[in-house]
Structure 1
């Protein structure tokens, strides 16, 4: 499993309805994309208290071939044409779990990044993170949760999808609205 995200930060006065319309008209195009476990079409707005207006899709890929096909194909080129070429962050998947609210459509996503501290062996840090992930993914209101690592920057990433009305803990990380979820191979996701 590979996790991937790019963030398109938009001006403070940007009409975020443009992003909503984009997702409403194009989001379904990846609903059957080969190699894609899931894509959460994420957005956050200053009007809702976020620090920035941002479109920030998050992907969990089952295969590198699927990820490459998207990045080198017309899907990502549409982003490049409309917004410029964003930095694509990516992480190696460690764990994926579906939560108690697995049948619900996700309304909110959280993303938490944390450094792997110096002095801790990478294997121990990963084992500890995986151990905590099971507890996190089992929280009430969790649709699904993934854990990944970027060994270039030694950064752990926790990504969680939450059902409408879920009581999201304050320490869950940055919050995003989920505008659409494409999940053609979600059942094949593994860490």
Structure 2
């Protein structure tokens, strides 16, 4: 499993209806994309929970071939043409868990990044993060949660989809406009090694 996200920060007075319409008319195009486990079409609107307007889709890839096919194919090229080339962040998947609301369509998502301190053994940090991820997965309203790591920068990432308003938690909060999940079942539960 590979996690990936790009963030397109938009002007403060940008009409987010444009992004909503884009997702409403094009979101279904990845509903059967080979190698894609999950794509959550995420937005943040400037206001109570966010200082910015942002379109920030988040992907969990079941195969690296799927991720490569997307990045070098027409889907991502449309983003580049319309918004410029964003920085694509990616992490190696560590764990995936379905939550008690796994059958529900997610309405919100949370994304929390945490640095692994240089004084902490990487294996110890991952074990603690796995335990936290298991706890998130058991939270009422959780649809699914994933844990990933960027070993270049030693950053852990917790991504959780929620069936309702996301609970108070550290990290960014997003609205989910659409979910494509053609190969979600390929992840399996628990650790990814």
TM-score normalised by the shorter chain: which range applies?
A: over 0.9
Alignment-derived partner of residue 20 in structure 1: 20
Q: CA deviation at 1:78?
A: 0.3
Q: How does the TM-score come out when normalised to structure 1? A: 0.96
Map 1:47-126 to 2 at 5 A: 47-126=47-126
Alignment-derived partner of residue 173 in structure 1: 171
- State which drifts further: 94-103 or 40-49: 40-49
> How many residues are aligned here?
189
- State which drifts further: 118-127 or 77-86: 118-127
The Cα offsets for residues 148-186 of structure 1, whole Å up to 9 and x where unpaired, read as 00001100000000002x5x3322421000000000000
> What root-mean-square deviation, in Å, do the aligned CA atoms of Structure 1 and Structure 2 show?
1.0
**Over 4 Å off, 4+ runs:** none
- State which drifts further: 57-66 or 127-136: 127-136
- State which drifts further: 128-137 or 151-160: 128-137
Distance 1:48 1:56 in 2: 18
Alignment-derived partner of residue 186 in structure 1: 184
Q: CA deviation at 1:13?
A: 0.7
Distance 1:140 1:103 in 2: 13
Alignment-derived partner of residue 128 in structure 2: 128
Distance 2:172 2:38 in 1: 19
Q: How does the TM-score come out when normalised to structure 2? A: 0.95
Distance 1:182 1:128 in 2: 30
Distance 2:74 2:48 in 1: 32
SS at match of 2:162: strand
Q: CA deviation at 1:86?
A: 0.1
- State which drifts further: 114-123 or 20-29: 114-123
Matched, 1:139 2:144: no
Alignment-derived partner of residue 6 in structure 1: 6
